[in-house]
Amino acid sequence: MNRQPLPSLDRFRLLAAVLVVAIHTGPLGSFSPAADLWLTRVLARVAVPYFAMVSGYFLARGHWQGTGRLWRHTLGLYAASVLLYLPLNLYAGNPVGWRGLVFNGTFYHLWYLPALLLALPIARLLAGTGRTGWAVAGLLYLIGLGGDSYYGLAGQLPGLGALYEVVFTLWDYTRNGLFLLPLFLLLGAAFAPRPVPAARPSTWLFLAGLGAMTLESLALHTAGIPRHDSMYLFLPLTMWGLFGLLLAVNGGQDRAVRRTAALVYILHPWCIVAVRGAARFLGLRGLLVENSLVHFAVVVPLSVALAFALQSLTGRRTLPPDVRAWREIDLAALRQNTALLRDALPASCALMAVVKADAYGHGAVPVARTLQREGVRLFAVACLSEGIRLRKADIRGDILILGWTDPAQAPVLRRWRLCATVADADHGRALSAQGVPVRVHLAVDTGMHRLGIPAEEIGTLAELFALPHLRVEGVYSHLCTSDGTSQADRAFARQQTGTFVRTLALLRGMGLDPGLTHLQASYGILNPACTAGHTFGAARPGLLLYGVYSDSNPVDHPLPLRPVLSLRARVAAVHRVPAGAGAGYGLAFTARRDTCLAVLAIGYADGLPRNYGAQGGVVLLHGARCPVVGRVCMDQMLVDATDLPTPPKAGECATLIGTDGAGTLRAEEVAVACGTITNELLSRLGSRLGLLVRDI
């Protein structure tokens, strides 16, 4: 149903890191200095601006809310890198003083990290000033350009030469945190609110910019003008085309590749030192060092291998040995799904993450924390206790309770800064009567006849706006047939939308501000025709965040989502049962042959139905499908593992949802076997199941 996305933005990070390695190894220097000059001083100069652009893009996607988090992350990475290269600095007799820490980067490639620490607050400030910010960033770039590729010209101008000498005395390449990075952070941010560009014109723009930059570099170097060569007049044009091309073919995120790229960037100088040391020890300096292409070809895979090794050591999280069954949560998939949903919504429509029912069984706290780091500032829960749990976990932003809240709890709502739903007129009056200011959203009944004030009772809605202690901050409704496939279902959804839009118009016509408006849930996004082309202030995806659909029915606008949750259990025991023998409660299973039965430590108290085996349920053992047999018990179930080439052993892992080797069981398939939808299946997974959070 879903195609695998191509995370082009993240994959190019790795290529950019390899280009940085090329700058420091000169792969073609032994064969053609001119070709090496083009590779390392022209083509490879896209690497650092690209790092800045992709950061700016994702920061702007989150309305720059993640700037502080990225700054702290960069600071931590810089501190670790300083310690990592301290032995080399001491060996080389280069003491690490305060000037080196602040202005020089302590090692020749680390300048980017303190430069980014300087550039992030500058870019954040400039981003909020419109054209003035662009003018300042452009001016800074031109000043930096004069001290870089155009130094031979700009340095001769009165006053500028002295200015550049002061800059060079104070700063090494870290000066690019002032002159280069702010512009490219803004350039990346400029793509966030725009429609995804077309690939072909972006390709031509990139090639034209690269060609112009090549001619520019050739002319400058022929005339002996550059002092450095990290900045060109045509570099912004080249990067605009390149980023547009990558964005046009991008289909998600790959956090593992992203981390690998960062580690390759950080680690490759150590790998250069290791290769040179090995060459000296083995007497192979001519091959491993003096042959620049071989040198590059050894350093790159060594850097990548070391990056993977470090990730495997730091990213592996193990469950306690006594955990019998657990949920595995893939936060990288959650982030990718969030980005895809934002792309599917209009730029003016915010994402309100529905994390009720423990985030549909995925763990509300780790899910909400991850979404908060991605810039999500609107959350929805089902009840007061769920909202309080998020606040206790330091989840900020607005948290809307979608269900009914006891009016007597108004002081608790205020204390935890939660927003309540007004379920009907009497509920709104009772909330106001508590005498405590309460933030609320009004639920409007447009035809589902669940919670809400009937849309036709516009006077009642207006009365609620006037109640003394209600702070109406939003108005919403819910589409009850947007997941249907029939024409009648779609027609009713469009009717609900029309009713909601007319209600909002009447309220505005009475001088009332409805605040944040929201109507679409997950299937309103997948079937956008249901909302008849109308755009609201927010959309409320729940299930889609977690990478699954309710069922396998077709939708109008499928998204390449990745499932976030896997469900696994231990094999508790393995039995040999002779033909004709029964097993389980009521001996509901009778072996028709000599059978190998695996007992899994998971049962209906964990959320699976008692009749799962009778409904055709299967699990994955050794990557192969094995049928569930007999009646599911409260704490165990039986699986027929007879056809496995190798019998399972106690303590091994079985997969009930997710991937094991070549086999995959999607939640949609399991839900069908359980006779329900994924919403119910996932949200009833028992709290006694362990939770393993993966972030690679």
Q: Which amino acid is at 418?
A: L
pLDDT at 2: 36
pLDDT at 501: 97
- Section 420-446 average pLDDT: 97
Which H or E run includes 522? Answer: helix 522-526
Region 660-671: mean pLDDT is: 91
Residue 646: partners with Cβ closer than 8 Å, 6 or more residues away: 622
Grade residue 505 by pLDDT with cuts at 50, 70 and 90: very high
CA proximity to 115, closest of 165, 48, 31: 48
Using 50, 70 and 90 to split pLDDT, how confident is the model at 351? very high
Lowest mean pLDDT segment, chosen from 110-114, 321-325, 578-582, 648-652: 321-325
Give the pLDDT band (50/70/90) at residue 253. low
Q: Which residues contact 319 (CB under 8 A, 6 or more apart)?
A: 326, 690, 692
CB 216 within 8 A of CB 236: no
Q: Which residues pair with 566 in a beta bridge?
A: 328
Rounded Cα gap, residues 161 and 553, in angstroms: 69
290-327 per-position pLDDT tens digit: 999 999 999 999 999 999 888 776 654 455 556 899 99
The enclosing H or E element of 520 equals: strand 516-521
List of residues 6+ apart from 223 with CB closer than 8 A: 152
d(CA 484, CA 164): 67
Give the 3-state secondary structure of 402-414. Answer: CCCCCHHHHHHHH
Please report the pLDDT score of residue 316 as a whole number: 47
Give the orientation angle of helix 458-466 with respect to helix 425-432, to 10 degrees: 10
Q: 63 or 303: whose pLDDT is higher? A: 303
pLDDT higher than 90, residue 553: no
CB 519 within 8 A of CB 315: no
Mean pLDDT of 151-177: 79
pLDDT, residue 620, reads 96
According to the per-residue pLDDT averaged within each range, which of 85-89, 336-340, 515-519 is highest? Answer: 515-519
Lowest mean pLDDT among 27-41, 92-106, 177-191, 478-492: 92-106
What confidence tier does 71 reach under pLDDT thresholds 50, 70, 90? very high
Q: So what's the pLDDT on residue 43?
A: 96
Q: For this structure, is 112 an active site residue?
A: no
Q: How confident is the model at residue 61 (pLDDT cuts 50, 70, 90)?
A: confident
Return the half-sphere exposure (C-beta side, CA atoms, 13 A cut-off) of residue 667. 30
Torsion, Cα of 346, 350, 354, 355 (10° steps)? 130
Residue 544 pLDDT exceeds 90? yes
pLDDT band at 4 (very low <50, low <70, confident <90, very high): very low
pLDDT at residue number 100: 67
Residue-wise pLDDT tens digits, 112-157: 999 999 999 999 999 989 899 999 999 999 998 988 899 888 878 8
Q: Dig out the tokens for 641 from the structure.
A: 């593992």
- Give the model's pLDDT for residue 632: 96
88 has a pLDDT exceeding 70 = yes
The residue whose two tokens read 């009944």 is: 445
pLDDT of 321 reads 59
pLDDT at 186 over 60: yes
Q: Which of 150, 232, 356, 523 is catalytic?
A: 356
Domains in the chain and their CATH numbers? 48-208+228-235 (no CATH), 348-546 (3.20.20.10), 565-694 (2.40.37.10)
**Residue 392 a catalytic site member:** no
Residue pLDDT, tens place only, 446-468? 999 999 999 999 999 999 999 99
Cα–Cα distance for residue pair 665/315, rounded to 1 Å: 24
Q: Exposed, middle or buried by CB within 10 Å (0-12, 13-18, 19+), for 454? A: middle
CA distances (Å), origin 655, targets 551, 565, 639, 664, 690:
20, 11, 12, 9, 14
pLDDT of residue 418: 97
Question: How far is it, in rounded angstroms, from Cα 435 to Cα 431?
Answer: 8
402 pLDDT above the threshold of 90: yes
Higher pLDDT, 264 or 229: 264
Which position among 108, 392, 585, 649 bears the catalytic label? 585
CB 626 within 8 A of CB 644: yes
